[in-house]
A and B are shown apart, each in its own frame.
Chain A
Amino acid sequence: MATLSPSVGNILDQATQKNHSQTQVGHDWFVQLKQKGWENFSALPMPKRNDEKWRYSDTRTLNLENYHIGKTPSEDQVNQLIAQSHFISRPAGLIIHIDGHCVLRPAISAELAAQGVKFESLQDALKHHPALLKEFLLKHEAGLGGSKFLALHQAYLQSGYVLHVPKGVEIKQPFVSVNWTLADGVAVFPHALVIADERAKLSIHEYNLSATPQLKALAISAADLYAGAGANISRFSVQGWSNETQSFEIANTSGAKDSLISSVNAALGSRRARLENTVRIDGPGADVRLYGISVATGEQEFDQRTLQIHNAGKAKSDLLFKNVLLDKSRTVFSGLIKVAPDAQQTDAYQTNRNLLLSGEAEADSMPGLEIEANDVKCSHGATTGQVNPEELFYLLARGIPLPVAQELLAEGFLEEVLSKVDDEESAAVVREMFRQKFHQS
């Protein structure tokens, strides 16, 4: 291995992709799926500035060159990072990846296993449940502009997990997936496939982190979630990659009749992070909550694109994205609510609030509606401003210094969303991450 030239393993080389496909589980359809991903990636153009789905994004600095497939980490490194991965004391299951390699295969209780619950690495699931994967793997499109990135994810699909909870099984404790980047210049492609059958209940927490804060990396994640009739899926995703990471996450959720779906996205890391979150409601009575919070510092760019599709009537969706901006950071929120012609009696809401704590930060907001049914309640709101001067004065008058006062108010601003996280331990971990970020800034 030591004799290989530095370009070997570069993700833009076709040889890398071919080699990557061949070293894996030998299902033909899976190799073909990856091949198709590569073809799509090669055919699609990079997003451009005047591309409406990339409006306000800094497309000039998009760059996929000089990233490599991750090598297997050393035992020491593995042990060290595993030790840092216990965010919840008693998770229903824990899976850990480093640079795209699964280093901790999940073990679930015999009780859950007996109920038919599956929580496995993507590689194991390919061996054990090929039919399930063939049916559900990468069936969604990236409808919000990230097709090229999703195609690259597909071309290098290997790491990730599959979580399947069968009919009627309710699990309160969260499942946890932790993805680490470790080597400089690494590219990772974490995949999540979550299936909750009829009336099943599950919670999944995902932590995306880097071993060192200045690591250069590329992360293209995809998550596909299926909520069956009456199912309940709760997802908490923490984007805490290193400050030199370019990250893309494309999440697609579909909700059947009476399903309950809640997702919280917390963004702290990456130099540029783009989130594309689509929720499609296919059955009446579904109730979807989408939340997002971020603290952007330095020259970070957080680019959030959301789509709430109401294909069925009598369903509800609600979205709240809150951003705190410091230094020269930038956030983009672009949200769209689409109500199909027959989706009468839809309730759909969307709110974006941006707190500017610096004169050089920039918050861009594009809350959108496309409504084709008349019997609906839909609204959206967007505000961008500073901390309330009266609240600030109140704190200052009690001798609290300005930066501390601002931090307190910003924490209060974020708390509205953090309080929605379904596990207090996990919420506390992320609350502390935000606090540290303020202190570093």
Chain B
Amino acid sequence: MSEIDDSQSQREAIEVDRTKGDFKYEENYAFDAGIGLSEKVVNYIADVKGEESWIREFRLKALKTFTDLPMPTHWATEDLKNINFDEIRYYLSKGQKPSRTWEEVPDDVKETFERLGIPEAERKFLAGVEAQFDSEAVYSRMKDEMSKLGVIFCGPTEGLRDHPEIFRKWFGKVIPIGDNKFSALNSAVFSGGSFIYVPKGVKVAQPLQAYFRINAENFGQFERTLIIADEGSEITYMEGCTAPKFETATLHSAVVELVALKGAKIQYITVQNWSANVFNLVTKRGVAEEDAEVRWIDCNIGSRLTMKYPGVVLRGKRARGEVLSIALANDGQHQDTGAKMIHAADETTSNIIAKSISVGAGRSTYRGLVHMPKTLRNCKNNTECDALLINEHSRTDTYPAISVRGQKNSVQHEASVSKVSAEQIFYMMQRGLSEGEAMSLAVNGFVNDLVKEFPMEYSVELKRLIELQMEGSVG
């Protein structure tokens, strides 16, 4: 009996509060592409956005690719078959233009984002904030000095319309339409997201931020992000995601492309806290040219199924790629995350550190790819994945794939699976902590060395969030 109690309290202790985003507002949309996916829907989106014909063709081609490609269930979970593409709404929007000031945002949307803390975030001197509500950005603002430096921060529609000379060159190049079934889907119906250009030598000191929220039931969100950091520039981008709980499944399928030109640095941070009905199937990849660095920091806490393997193509000499990933899977959740490092130039280095926590019947999976072809010299990769299993039937899988050729290349991969030791818990309880607090502390300790790698403001916030949630759930 006590065993059951224990496992219950342990579960409660590390349960993260997912209710913060669990509220929704009435759905009265000015633009609605209807239910199901067809050429008509794709054309509707292109019409509403007034897109040039090449974009429409890109979308239609992608729709065909999406239809032709099979579901990747020969390696991925069968749960993908539960997505019913005919019941999803692909485009919903209250208006076409993002507001420039907070006051212009419709009240209900404003309230949504206030509850999620967006204006608050801006008050913390973020360089820019964009918020997306279903298909379109509702609020977009960037500090004036950033604009003066030539930094562009807008959505894909504006980016491709107003700055084609910058964005068209890379759009769909890092992640081509046919990369996978879901990148094809995104390419057909994408809407919203961030297009960012940082000019040569500009170092954006504060992070740019975006929030994504799904408000309508059966809605699919397909934002598209493209960040180009020109030579020697630096930028940090942060995104957060939430959705209310619905009875039926909701789909989020984004494509994020990063381009770090010579000597540039891009850091991309995600906190995914979708509610447990969301299929979160995201393709993220960066290209790093000579001496450039691309760093993905990825936290996956919510969703029903997340499949996300941020990648870096190390295209220039001495380029560096890094993925730091934390995943927490609770009952009914499957966090299928990982990383891909494609070495394509000499002396490139990559680092992957992934930590996952499985609670209850939750399942976390690490899937990785490291590739070093034969022409290369002096490349290095380090991969570490650690899994923590909390309850008796928590599940974890690790599926790395490592392919190495070439001269003086070296790769090391390590993975471990463990549980919180009874001694640790006993030690802490003996010092007056409840079992829940002890478990919470142990879990925090498990992710601590990764959290430390995060930018200061972010690691503090994340840690505080985890602590608060855990303390709150200890009875």
Contacts and interface: CB of A to CB of B under 8 A. Distances in A.
A379 B417 contact: yes
A369 B396 contact: yes
B74 A50 contact: yes
Nearest to A51: B74
Interface string B383-418: 000010111111111111111111111111111111
Nearest to A363: B404
Interface stretch (A62-70, A192-200, A381-389, A394-402): A381-389
B75 interface: yes
Contact of A381 (B358, B390, B409, B415): B415
Contacts of A344: 392
Nearest to A374: B389
A381 B389 contact: no
A361 B403 CA distance: 11
B397 A381 contact: no
A367 B419 contact: no
A293 to B, nearest CB: 18
B389 A56 contact: no
A354 B404 contact: yes
Nearest to A344: B392
B398 A372 contact: no
A52 B76 CA distance: 10
Nearest to B407: A359
A13 interface: no
A367 B400 contact: yes
Query: For the side of the interface on A, what is the size category?
Result: 35 or more
A412 interface: no
Contacts of A370: 395-397
Nearest to B383: A382
Given A368-B398, A371-B395, A380 B408 contact: no
Contact of B415 (A52, A56, A354, A369): A369
B374 interface: yes
Contacts of B358: 374
Nearest to B387: A371
A365 interface: yes
A381 B414 contact: yes
A386 B413 contact: no
Interface string B217-249: 000000000000000000000000000000000
A381 B405 CA distance: 18
Contacts of A371: 387, 389, 395-397, 417
Nearest to B384: A381
A375 B419 contact: yes
Contacts of B374: 359-360, 362
Nearest to B371: A364
Contacts of B394: 372, 374
A409 interface: no
Given A52-B75, A379-B414, A372 B401 contact: no
A361 B399 contact: no
Interface in A36-95: 50-52, 55-56
A381 B404 contact: no
A386 B414 contact: no
A51 B391 CA distance: 33
Given A371-B389, A378-B416, A365 B402 contact: yes
B405 A56 contact: no
A366 B416 CA distance: 15
A31 B286 CA distance: 59
A369 B405 contact: no
Contact of B412 (A50, A56, A381): A381
Contacts of B407: 359
A366 B402 contact: yes
Given A371-B387, A373-B392, A384 B410 contact: yes
A361 B419 CA distance: 39
B416 A373 contact: no
Contacts of A373: 389, 392-393
B404 A372 contact: no
B405 A361 contact: yes
Interface in A391-437: none
B460 to A, nearest CB: 30
A51 B74 CA distance: 8
A409 to B, nearest CB: 15
Contact of B402 (A51, A359, A382): A382
Contacts of A50: 74
A10 B396 CA distance: 47
Contacts of A382: 400, 402, 411-413
Interface string B119-131: 0000000000000
A383 B392 contact: no
A386 B417 contact: no
A130 interface: no
A146 B397 CA distance: 23
A12 interface: no
A377 interface: yes
Contacts of A268: none
A116 interface: no
B410 A372 contact: no
A195 to B, nearest CB: 33
A56 B418 contact: no
Given A365-B402, A371-B387, A385 B411 contact: yes
Interface-central residue, B75, B387, B415, by most chain A CB under 10 Å: B415
Contact of A377 (B75, B415, B418): B418
A356 interface: yes
Interface string B413-456: 11111110000000000000000000000000000000000000
Contacts of A364: 401-404
Contacts of A363: 402-405
A384 B408 CA distance: 10
Nearest to A380: B415
Nearest to B418: A377
Nearest to B386: A379
A359 B375 CA distance: 8
Contacts of B391: 374
A385 B409 contact: yes
Contacts of A362: 374, 403-405
Nearest to B368: A366
Contacts of A211: none
A367 B417 contact: no
Contacts of A51: 74
Contact of B411 (A341, A361, A384): A384
Interface-central residue, A51, A52, A365, by most chain B CB under 10 Å: A365
A376 interface: yes
B399 A366 contact: yes
Contacts of B408: 386
Contacts of A341: 392-393
Given A359-B407, A365-B402, A369-B396, A383 B417 contact: no
A383 B397 contact: no
B199 to A, nearest CB: 40
A344 to B, nearest CB: 7
Contacts of A378: 416-417
Given A378-B416, A380-B413, 6 more contacts: A360-B374, A368-B397, A370-B397, A372-B395, A374-B391, A376-B389
25 contacts: A50-B74, A56-B403, A341-B392, A356-B405, A360-B374, A361-B405, A363-B403, A364-B401, A365-B401, A365-B402, A365-B413, A366-B400, A368-B397, A369-B397, A369-B398, A369-B417, A371-B395, A371-B397, A374-B358, A374-B389, A374-B419, A380-B415, A383-B411, A383-B412, A384-B410
Lowest 10 A-B CB distances belong to which pairs? A374-B389, A385-B410, A369-B398, A378-B417, A359-B407, A379-B416, A384-B404, A365-B402, A362-B405, A382-B413
